[in-house]
Structure 1
Amino acid sequence: MPEPLTTHTGVAAPLLRDNIDTDAIIPSREMKTTGKTGLAEGLFAGWRYLAPGTRDPDPSFVLNQPAYAGATILLGGSNFGCGSSREHAVWALAEFGIRAVIATSFAPIFFGNCVRNGICPAVLPPEAVAEIAAAAEAGSQVSLDVEAGTVSLADGRTWSFSLEAEARAMLTEGLDAIDLTLKLRDRIAAFHARDRAERPWIYLEEQA
């Protein structure tokens, strides 16, 4: 199950590019597992390392720069997470320690994958993302309140973002899609009992 995310304050790394696709987030050559672990090293491998297949850090890439060591928030441009629907991209971000991605827009499937895996996808206007990036570059940490739907800086500047109630519940309570459904188990059981009484012919007889 994802770790619950209610509030978070951390270092934000500005990766202000549009159309960052899932193959950039986790190249296919780095997908050597079907599980959710063992992917962090491959995160942004095509940009993070000097040559394909190596682990020599490229000092020009933001996540390799000392100012952004331990970053837990990513700042992006428009259409973040476009491309294939591979959930490995979000798994790699989560294993690396990213708890939120703040961007001007997201690819819909990637947005949903973030929510299901405990990463908050926050949509803010371009000017807001630019302000937050400038503050992060100056050394300011960024705070996120999922329940309130706000992103803020230490100097008090605050921006609001929207999440549907279901997405907010999944993030703040650490639920995946199955957990969310099971919250309705009493209503499901009541429907099942009512339906069995009304349409008994569609149910197989239970064996003794």
Structure 2
Amino acid sequence: MSNLKMISSIAIPFNHNNVDTDQLLPKQFLTEISRQGFGKHLLHDIRYLDENEAVLNPECVLNDPAFTGAEILIAGDNFGCGSSREHAPWAIADFGIKVIVAKSFADIFYANCLNNQILPIALPSQAVDVLANKSQANPCQIVTVDLPNQTITNGEDTYTFTLLVHHKQNLLNGVDKIGRTLLEEAAIAAYEARQFS
């Protein structure tokens, strides 16, 4: 996994509420256990006008060429609700998104994002609306997320976000929970040696 410290990118203003994990990655695509290849199916029912994904929906902001290459997604309230499917953050990461800014997140989805090196940032509703509206009005607007200082800036406005220390350290070090444990492998081996000698 790659670490995450500072992201400066344009941001996709996808300010929808109650987007569930079946919308993020519909069940018919849950056919692989690899984390790659799911990005093309992200928000399938919104992005495409056909089942074969041959016809893009021009009304979907994810298909707007102005937002190509964006690493930040701005979402609404209760983002990632529904089932606990980890394939949903896999699809988001494979699409290229590294940071999601939302008004709130479903708890399990929030945890799954952190385990997959995606930074979920919950901000007050008004702040999210400002960020989304400015990105909508000016797709070239750069948003900077500074994880060490826990700030998000869009050039004019700066917001501070909260994140538990161990989640922050995992993201900065590019590890998940298991990877964090393995960083202490020497200490674990020493403990086992003392216990079983």
User: TM-score band, normalised by the shorter chain?
Assistant: over 0.9
Distance in 2 (alpha carbons) for counterparts of 1:165 and 1:125: 21
Deviation at 1:67, TM superposition (A): 2.4
Written as runs of structure 1 = structure 2, the 5 A alignment for 1:27-176 is 27-139=26-138, 140-155=141-156, 157-176=157-176
**Higher Rg:** 1
Letter in 2 for 1:42: H
Offset of residue 23 of structure 1: 0.6
Instruction: Indicate if the aligned counterparts of 1:104 and 1:125 stay in contact, CA closer than 8 A.
Output: yes
How many angstroms does 1:110 deviate by?
0.9
Structure 1 segment 10-29 matched on structure 2, within 5 A: 10-29=9-28
Q: C-alpha separation between the residues in 2 aligned to 1:106 and 1:38?
A: 24
- The 1-side partners of 2:44 and 2:54 are apart by 8
State the partner residue of 1:184: 184
Deviation of residue 187 (structure 1)? 3.1
Structure 2's unaligned 5+ residue stretches are none
Distance 1:69 1:115 in 2: 24
- 1:74 deviates by 0.7
Q: TM-score, normalised by structure 2?
A: 0.93
1:49, distance to aligned residue in structure 2 (A): 0.3
- Structure 1 range deviating more: 26-35 or 124-133: 26-35
In the alignment, the residues of structure 2 paired with residue 6 and residue 20 of structure 1 have an alpha-carbon distance, to the nearest angstrom, of 27
2:10 & 2:50 partners in 1: Cα distance?
27
Q: In structure 1, the residue corresponding to 2:53 is in which secondary structure?
A: coil
1:48-91 superposed Cα distances (whole Å, 9 cap, x missing partner): 00123332100000111132222211111111111111111111
State the distance in 2 between where 1:52 and 1:115 align. 31
Check the 8 A contact 1:63/1:71 in 2, yes or no: no
Report how far residue 134 of structure 1 moved.
1.5
- Structure 2 distance, partners of 1:19, 1:133, is 16
Over 4 Å off, 4+ runs: none
Question: Number of residues paired by the alignment?
Answer: 195
Distance 2:116 2:173 in 1: 12
Supply the distance in 2 between the matched residues of 1:153 and 1:75 (Cα, whole angstroms): 12
Q: Please provide the CA RMSD for this pair.
A: 1.4
Q: C-alpha separation between the residues in 2 aligned to 1:85 and 1:35?
A: 17
In the aligned structure 2, how far is the partner of 1:42 from the partner of 1:105? 23
Quote the sequence identity (%): 38
Spell out, residue by residue over 1:105-160, the C-alpha distance to the aligned partner (whole angstroms, 9 max, x if none).
Answer: 111111111111111000100000011112112321111011111110122x1001
CA distance in 2, matches of 1:54, 1:158: 38
Deviation at 1:94, TM superposition (A): 0.6
**Matches of 2:185 and 2:123 in 1, distance apart?**
35
- Could you tell me which amino acid in structure 2 is paired with residue 9 of structure 1? S
Q: Deviations over 1:83-102 (max 9, x none)?
A: 11111111111111001000
**Offset, 1:167:** 0.8
